[in-house]
Structure 1
Amino acid sequence: MSRAGQEQDRGEGSAARVPSGRLRLGGRVFGPGDHAVMAVVNRTPDSFYDKGATFGFASAMRAVDTAVERGADIIDVGGVKAGYGAHVSAAEEIRRTVPFVAALRERHPGVVISVDTWRARVGGECAEAGADMINDTWAGADPGLAAVAAEHGLALVCSHSGGLAPRTDPHRVAYEDVMADVVGTVTGLAERAVGLGVDPDRVMIDPTHDFGKNTYHSLELTRRLGELAGSGWPVLVAVSNKDFIGETLDAAVTDRLAGTLAVLAVSAWEGARVFRVHDVAAARSALDAVAALAGS
């Protein structure tokens, strides 16, 4: 029986239609005051940040070991670069991710394993290999992905991409109110996921900085993140080394750590719960400082 089915037998899954304040990822539970750090491990040859440093199986596993040692709660495994690049078929994405997820599950049984994919087929095969959650950064582009999360009892990230297709960039994008657009989209996707059977305590929402947005929009979302957190759904932010930080500070991709930590701290103060990062140790320290300041 799937985890979703087990939870319904205990009377938890079907009765609860809204988030309870708990965030349940794999076998772990994060309360309202907890900050979960998600480490990025991209099994791609063309990642914008590490330029393929973790494309190889062994190097990727070493990166996981280091991230776990430095305090990562979640490992986010990606098999396709988010931006423009060579076409990657579903079969190739599966080849890059599924065996790695299986090995990661065996090596680190207590860590939460996330898979960054927009494809239902990939999500399903990674679930069978031991993944705990799906990080869908393309706003439900494959409508079957939420059903896969429900079938396997996985957590699901619901995101906002401004209507863009996967792996495309915005061109002169405009919003009357970017936060209103984000809130409407991600809460609608969250409600749809719950309607399909995803446990509300396993649903997160992501404003998805830079996806379908320019620098102004991403800064605006950060300033107003408390409005998104006020929806009641746990908020994930993925801002690490992103272009809006580089453009704001005129900083190359290798020189954005200070800006990243500033945005992480503001996001945590405004109520974000999960933080997708490249530098786990620095992020953990920054978030612990915010927690101390908040008294939590």
Structure 2
Amino acid sequence: MAATIRSLRIGGREFHWGARTYVMGIVNVTPDSFSGDGITDLQAAVSQARQMEQDGADLIDIGGESTRPETWAGSGLSAEEELARVMPVLERAVASVTVPISIDTYKAAVAERAVAAGAAMVNDVWGLRRDPQMADTVARAGVAVVLMHNKPAGGYRDLIGEIAADLRQSAELGRAAGIPEDRIIVDPGIGFGKSREENLEIIKRLPELRRLGFPLLVGPSRKSFIGKTLDLPADERLEGTAAAIALSIAGGADIVRVHDVKSMVRVARMADAIVHP
């Protein structure tokens, strides 16, 4: 178990874990986002990032590859295709907002270019396991990294135990490459290779994942488990997301990754008033 990490400087800003919940806004530069919010216009994407900052986002996460199952069933985007999508937006966003920018990618080549352009965090949905160069790339860059749990095959016998073990292995990959322990954030990967019931169980049992000792990022926003529970499409899952966010904060989430920043900042502040008075 890692020693409990108290704070982290990301892009010139200090994040004090346990003091309050930080909100990460999602900018999807994709034509096929599962949540229906993908943007392919440069100015619209940059304007969205600016609006998220005004609405209270503490970080902006920019991604160019959809994580919907039907997209990942194929070969995925090449690094060149992903760079063509994200770099114009990222470069403009870095110059347009003051909050730290995160790059949502599992490709080392994309992460390297993004960090060189000003990204202060890498959000890897494969937890350093997909691209063998990613751990070294992040270590050399000296930025923070989010290690997400991802097991598309599913088939859990001990859901939380297996997630915790896999996250420990991802963290060890990072440490072995030279990533300082205090730059690692973990994410249980809600919606990735998990059933509706398993996603609900993760939120219910988040305190058990706190025992890993790393800051915890949770991203339930608009996910299909909410749609299945409430029988609603992605663009009508605001209230379900709010409930999941509030309970994630009660369970110990340090960062919540959301599409609807203005509403979820309010949810986070209200939850913080109860959890972190």
TM-score (norm 2): 0.93
Are 2:18 and 1:37 aligned? no
Counterpart check, 1:153 vs 2:142: yes
Q: After the TM superposition, which segments of 4 or more aligned residues of structure 1 sit over 4 Å from their partners?
A: none
Amino acid at match of 1:157: V
**How many aligned residue pairs are there?**
270
Q: 1:37 to 1:51 in 2, by over 3 A?
A: closer
Question: Partner of 1:220 in structure 2?
Answer: 201
What CA RMSD, in Å, does the superposition of the two structures yield over aligned residues? 1.5
Opposite residue 213 of structure 1, the aligned amino acid is K
Q: Tell me if structure 1 keeps the 8 A contact 2:60–2:99.
A: yes
Shift of 1:88: 2.1
Does residue 201 of the first structure (1) align with residue 189 of the second (2)?
A: no
> How many percent of aligned residue pairs carry the same amino acid?
36
- Cα distance in 1 for partners of 2:168, 2:247 equals 22
Deviation of 1:145 (Å)? 1.1
Q: Deviations over 1:79-121 (max 9, x none)?
A: 111122374221010111123222211122x311101111011
Task: Tell me how far apart the structure 2 counterparts of residues 24 and 198 of structure 1 sit (CA, whole Å).
Answer: 14
Give me the whole-angstrom Cα distance separating, in 1, the residues matched to 2:165 and 2:231: 32
Match of 1:187 in 2: 168
Q: Distance in 2 between matches of 1:218 and 1:294?
A: 22
Which of the residues 49, 61, 64 maps onto 1:76? 61
- The reply on whether 1:281 has 2:262 as its aligned counterpart is yes
Q: Hey, what does 2:101 align to over in structure 1?
A: 113
- In structure 2, the partner of 1:67 is 52
Does the Cα contact within 8 Å between 1:159 and 1:186 map onto a contact in 2?
yes
Cα-to-partner distance string for 1:198-218 (whole Å, 9 max, x where unaligned): 222221100001101111111
Counterpart of 2:79 in structure 1: which amino acid?
Answer: A
Contact 2:101 2:119 in 1 (8 A): yes
What SS does the corresponding residue of 1:251 show, helix, strand or coil? coil
Aligned counterpart for 2:81 among listed residues 88, 92, 101: 92
Residue 142 of structure 1 deviates from its aligned partner by 1.0
Query: Shift of the alpha carbon at 1:50?
Result: 2.6
Structure 1: stretches of 5+ with no match in the other structure: 1-16, 165-169
Output the amino acid matched with 2:123. N
Cα offset, 1:127, TM superposition: 0.8
Contact 1:146-1:156 at 8 Å conserved across structures: no
Instruction: Determine whether 1:49 maps to 2:30.
Output: no
Structure 2's unaligned 5+ residue stretches are none
Amino acid paired to 2:87:
V
Between 35-44 and 198-207, the greater mean CA deviation after superposition: 198-207
